[in-house]
Homo-oligomer: A and B are copies of this chain.
Amino acid sequence: MFVILGGNGYVGKVFQRSLSAAGQDFTVISRKLNDYSTPDALLDCLRETSASFVINAAGYTGRPNVDACEIHKAECLAGNAVLPGIVREVCEHLRLPWGHVSSGCIYTGSKPDGTGFTEEDAPNFSFRQNNCSFYSGCKALGEEVLSGAEQCFVWRLRIPFDEHDSPRNYISKMIRYDRLLNATNSLSQLTEFANASIACWMNRVDFGIYNLTNPGCVTTREVVDMIARHVLSDKQFSFFRSEQEFMQQAASTPRSNCVLDVSKARAAGLSLSPVHEAVERALKNWNPR
């Protein structure tokens, strides 16, 4: 029995779909119905289920975007840095294996040679480095809190998207934003991300951190060209001239734009499709709201 914490969130729902598709039983624990804000409360929640694997898909991401985390700092810390520690404590107590949905946003840029960051590279977009956003800082602290955790997967999601129009979907954001910042990024197709996460446990992959992004990287301009080619939008996309202009006019906190290396995941048999293919497929099967 899988238990999904935050199972009714944007990522949690995709885990629900993937587990259903795989014929796996699961229980959803959601903040609206369950209190899991303390170890004791979470212990009670989990004892009522017959959990054999816990997925922590709960987190605080800010609405409408990550700028909200600069205001709701305590919630951001509680959801992204403290909660992973609570889940760890309770899962270790119950000797339950589990996985945590982390984020690739704890990096910025790519390595000097242009390749992506591996799981061995220390986050470079965190409170400890590079004037990060409060969200990235909290996610990086969340990984620190999990250092040395037993029977624990850390799955790094990075700019989620799929074919379903949603305010949280990267493609929907590209279509709706007035102006865009050109940047180079690794992305995660959500269903593939959830499937790979579940495969970690089903295939008894070694516990640890995995960058679960689609191999390769894309620029914002490439994605916009693909959107135009699929005629999902007839607007003329306009771009900020620089990150500086973007920061001055549209954002209150810097964004992580980064490339991740997926060789560890690939070597573990967790293969997502190449990023350009994955974006093409989402656009081809686009499902407007």
Contact = CB atoms under 8 A, between A and B. Distances in A.
Contacts of A38: 35, 37
Contact of A128 (B73, B82, B86, B127): B127
Interface residues of A, number: 23
A131 B81 CA distance: 18
Given A127-B127, A137-B127, A144 B37 contact: no
Report which residue of A82, A85, A126, A144 has the largest number of chain B beta carbons within 10 angstroms of its beta carbon: A82
A188 to B, nearest CB: 26
A255 interface: no
Contact of A145 (B35, B77, B84, B85): B77
A74 B145 contact: yes
A89 interface: yes
Interface string A146-158: 0000000000000
Interface string A122-154: 000011100100000100010011000000000
Contacts of A82: 74, 77-78, 82
A77 B77 contact: yes
A37 B38 CA distance: 7
A75 interface: yes
21 contacts: A73-B85, A73-B141, A73-B144, A74-B82, A74-B85, A74-B86, A74-B88, A74-B89, A74-B145, A77-B81, A77-B82, A77-B85, A77-B141, A78-B82, A78-B85, A82-B82, A126-B127, A127-B137, A127-B141, A128-B128, A128-B131
